[in-house]
Chain A
Amino acid sequence: MTRRSLRPLAVGAAVAAPVFVGVGYAAGASIGMWGVGAGDALDPRRFVRVLASPVTLESTLWTLRVAFISTLLSAVVAAALAIALRRADRVGRWGRALAVLPLPIPHLVAAVAALLILGQSGLLARVAFALGAISGPAEMPPLVFDRGGVGMTIALLWKEIPFLFLVAASVLATRGEALEEAARRLGASEWDVLRRVTWPTLWRGLLPASVAVFTFVVGSWEVAVLLAPSDPLALPLLTWERYIDSDLSRRPDAFVLALLGVSIAAVAVVAHELATRRPADTRGTAR
């Protein structure tokens, strides 16, 4: 290998250098090599204790579940919207603008708005009250700080649908049209085109972006802080709680959890790479 072709590796490593430093520090701190709460001896068993604890397991599963559901729903809705808003007419243009509107808005804003809308005494409740559907906040089903993470999921949907919509629209515009034309010329009905060409193309095109969304949701702190329940705790909240725990001997637990979070992210990055590498096996038939 010549020096020149190692350059991308070096550049990538340079961009990721802070992550390596952080992971290195966290690794050492988690077993007590350095850092606050480090005893005199190394304690690698802490990993087992923390990762196997029911609190950690519950947290992780809850977080993964919320991330999975919100990502799946976002992808489905985004794909449907992309198909519905394809045409260049006025509805299409306004629709696309509205669909993409939340994209640049910070997640924190979405969480604040969700709190005000979905709380038991929030906007939805007040509208229901005005319509006579409920007689007080207590009758409103709890959508925030709830076990199901419904409010959090909705806030995430609001933010993630625009992003996936953009990707879906771009996939349709670049890859989709040629294939669809070809399928139509071969005599396929509109429904067939949709089912056997459009949908699979969209799905494959959305996969890498969905992995990215999934990863973001798993690690999102600000949305969880405002909307997630206190039991089970979302993984970022659990990590934070351990990090500022006044019992300093528990602090290394935070680093174990941090490494867990980074591992999930790393797995996602690899999954993302694999997803982008999938051979586009429909390409051959377009000829």
Chain B
Amino acid sequence: MRRRVLLVGLAIWSLTPLALLAVVSVAGGWRFPTLLGDDPGLAAWRSLGGGALGHATSTSLALGIGTGVGAAAVGLLAGRALARERGGPRTLGLIFAFLPVATPPLLLGIGLQFTFLRLGLGGTAAGVWLAHLVPAIGYTTLYFVAVFTSWDFGIERAARQLGATRRQTLVRVIAPLLRRPLAEAALLGFLVSWAQVPLTLLVGQGRVRSLTIEVLSLVQAGQDGLAAAGALVLLLPPLLLIALATWGVREAEVVVA
């Protein structure tokens, strides 16, 4: 009984914010004390197609995918290199790898804005992509360190001993085992980029409008309906991707069982 109460409590806690955003996005006006809105309609959502919110969504999607792919690739190589060794240099190397994750993105932006501008990357999507890669590669490197720490390097050795070439080992033995970690790392990189705010603001110089920046602007301008719609769009891809990933896991478990 108590556990059911807990469940209900958790449902309210986790789902109310999402439900409210949905309500406010179609509410028309949402002035006190109305609960469901004065003038319900889909105006906010219609503006999503064209216009600033729509453009920002595609910008964010492009940046997210680019960051996911880039960070997964680099993180794989970096994580593998860091995980193989033991000892002093590795510990220090790990601490270094942690820095882009621990440093607040705002400060990354403040420190790097000049450099990016100097390199002609300020205000460009390419520049923002590279900026997003900075923390994202940190995250994926740490992720792959964890993956490779519990990795059985013995499998590779066995394959080589049984006569496989480097290429065959890579393609037939390692790659299939890496498929899931790579997908998860790409998802991690995507999320880091998708949710980013101050870094995009500072390096994008207001010219690169990610969805997060658009939503922030709308909230600060008092446009609650549009902001709520934008916020809902902001949370959908991450939820979907996680749902897909967990569903994928369950599928795999079923197969194994």
Contact = CB atoms under 8 A, between A and B. Distances in A.
Interface residues of B, number: 76
A107 B215 CA distance: 12
Contacts of B31: 121
A151 B235 CA distance: 20
B238 A105 contact: yes
A22 to B, nearest CB: 2
Contact of B89 (A5, A85, A116, A273): A5
Contact of A109 (B30, B35, B100, B235): B235
B104 A7 contact: no
Contacts of A262: 103, 107, 111
A117 to B, nearest CB: 6
Nearest to B131: A18
Contacts, number: 247
Contacts of B93: 8-13
Given A22-B107, A91-B3, A113-B21, A9 B92 contact: yes
Interface string B1-24: 001101100110111111011001
A214 B35 CA distance: 35
Interface of B: 3-4, 6-7, 10-11, 13-18, 20-21, 24, 30-35, 77-78, 81-82, 84-85, 87, 89-108, 110-112, 114-115, 134, 137-138, 141, 191, 194-195, 197-198, 212, 215-216, 219, 224, 227-228, 231, 234-235, 238-239, 241-242
**Interchain residue pairs A-B with the least CB separation, the first 5:** A219-B104, A22-B111, A12-B93, A12-B96, A106-B195
23 contacts: A1-B89, A11-B93, A25-B114, A35-B114, A81-B10, A95-B3, A95-B6, A95-B7, A98-B14, A99-B10, A105-B235, A108-B212, A108-B231, A109-B235, A116-B224, A125-B33, A126-B32, A130-B35, A222-B212, A236-B104, A255-B110, A258-B110, A262-B107
